[in-house]
Every structure is written in C-alpha cells, then in structure tokens.
Amino acid sequence: MRHAKSSWDSPGHSDNERPLNDRGRRDAPKVGAALEERGWLPELVLSSDSQRTRETFAGMNECFSSVVKARFLSSFYHAGLGAVQDELPVVPDEVACLLVLGHNPGWEDLVGWLTGEDIVMKTANAALLSLDLESWSAALQPGKWKLVDVVRPREL
C-alpha cells in the first residue's frame, strides 16, 4: 500500500515529517474499512517511519476489528524491493496477511515486479496480492504473485 495523500503546506518540516492533508485523513480509514470488508485484515504491518505513513496506518487502524501490530522502519523510507527483501525473513510464518506500507516509486515498482503487471499506485491505493507460501523468506518471486484487486479510495 502507498501512504495516503500528504500535505505540502507544512513549512519547516522535512520530507519525512510531512503529515497527511485532509483528503489523506479521510482516505486512510476508508481503505482500512475496505480491507476489513474484503477479508484482507493484516496481521502485521511493515511501514516506512515517515509521518505520513504513520498517520495512514493510524487512520486505517481505527477501522480494524482486531489489534494490528505495526513496525515502522527507516529502511522503508523511499525504498522498495531491497528494503522489503531485507525484512521478509523476520516475518513470522504464522502471519497469513502482511501489509507493507510505503512510498512511490518503490511500491509501484515492487507491485509490478511481484505480479508482472504495470499498475499505478496513487496515494492510499492498496494492491491486494496473493501467493501460496510456506515461508515469508520465499515470498519475493518475480511475476508469481496474483494481483487480486486494487483498493482505491476514490472508488469507495
């Protein structure tokens, strides 16, 4: 998933500290509710440590019916495949649904690499991917994942 829409009207903040704007604050809970409704409730979230990804998760988390743990990682800030590849081996194999939350262009590239499909990851878009796995350490298989759906807040 890509973070919700952020504000560019925050003088004095670094890029990492940029908060969500009003639309982003509205979209994050919508996407959280849509994931829950579709049966895609994450058991774990690996997220960039930026302010906008933290706020995106917080907004989504309000709509989740159970506690969802999140790990905020500086390595996910403006990253993609390499950062995810480094973190997947430590994801417990019992986790059936994992959400990775970050930024473009890395996330768009990651979805394309995993599925072999080109999709545009606008803000607050969540690509729902599926692959039968025995271990998260074997998850990074190019072109093997199935793109099940893309949740787009404008369509909710």
Asked whether residue 20 is assigned to any structural domain, the reply reads yes
**Domain that residue 117 falls in:** 15-155
Count CA within 13 A, CB hemisphere, residue 77: 14
Q: How many domains does the chain have?
A: 1
- One digit per residue, pLDDT tens: the chain, 156 residues? 999 999 877 666 777 788 999 999 999 999 999 999 999 999 999 999 999 999 999 999 999 999 999 999 999 998 889 999 999 999 999 999 999 999 999 999 999 999 999 999 999 999 999 999 999 999 999 999 999 999 999 999
With H, G, I as helix, E, B as strand and everything else as coil, classify residue 2: strand
Asked whether residue 27 is assigned to any structural domain, the reply reads yes
Element at 48 (helix H, strand E): strand 44-48
Asked whether residue 9 is assigned to any structural domain, the reply reads no
Task: Confirm if 52 and 85 have CB atoms less than 8 A apart.
Answer: no
**The predicted structure's pLDDT at residue 27:** 98
Q: Is 65 exposed, middle or buried (0-12, 13-18, 19+ CB in 10 A)?
A: exposed
CATH of the domain at 108: 3.40.50.1240
With H, G, I as helix, E, B as strand and everything else as coil, classify residue 150: strand
Asked whether residue 114 is assigned to any structural domain, the reply reads yes
pTM passes above 0.85: yes
Asked whether residue 7 is assigned to any structural domain, the reply reads no
**The predicted structure's pLDDT at residue 12:** 62
Asked whether residue 84 is assigned to any structural domain, the reply reads yes
102 Rama class: left (phi>0) / alpha (psi -120 to 50) / beta: beta
